[in-house]
Amino acid sequence: MAARDEGRAFVLEPYPDRRMHVIVLDDVSNAAEVSAWVRQPGADFAAVDARMVVGMPQLLAAALCALHAEQRGKLVTHALHSEVVYALSAGKQINEAFRRFGAGESCARIVIVTFDAGAAARLSERILGRRVDPLSLAERFDEAAVRKAYKVTEAELRVASLSDAIVSRIAIQRL
């Protein structure tokens, strides 16, 4: 029997009992189906447009914000996985967050984020695409779109990396 593919798991401090499972897929041929699945009530995963992800620190920051909101009973989107997509956004508009960061019907490169190993294994079988190491996210993102979404200036980039600027925004946006 083949081993279940649960994606790459990350422990999230201060939530040592929670694991964020990440699957990155290139050349996804059934993105419309993935987009429909994630919109179903009770979806147990987030589907993110990989072009908007600079690297794992960005996803980890969003996941921590979502878990913290869940723990406090303050989920804006009312679901943990959709809160991850919302937390990625630099703004407060839920629809805008999903438009910019959610994996749409024509998205060819998708990041799946889930806190359920079973969901990760199930999705890795159902999504048609080529697996990519999550740590390679920093190699292929749309810098212009990311900088525009987060309003990162040249002056900021002289003193910090793009990833640092984004993680800072994610960390402080819901305070």
Q: What is the pLDDT of residues 47-75, one digit of tens each?
A: 999 999 999 999 999 999 999 999 999 99
Q: Percentage of the chain with pLDDT > 70?
A: 95
> Is 3 domain-assigned?
no
pTM, 2 dp: 0.93
> Is 2 domain-assigned?
no
pLDDT confidence tier of residue 100, bands split at 50, 70 and 90: very high
Task: Give residue-wise pLDDT tens across range 139-168.
Answer: 999 999 999 999 999 999 999 999 999 999
| Residue-number span of the structural domain to which 124 is assigned | 8-169
| pLDDT attached to residue 2 | 43
> Is 1 domain-assigned?
no
The answer to whether 161 touches 138, Cβ cutoff 8 Å, is no
The number of domains in the chain is 1
> Is 115 domain-assigned?
yes
Q: What share of the chain is helix, strand, coil (3-state, %, to 5)?
A: 50, 15, 35
Beta-strand runs (E) in the chain: 8-12, 15-26, 46-49, 110-114, 130-132
Residue 64 belongs to domain with CATH number: 3.30.2380.10
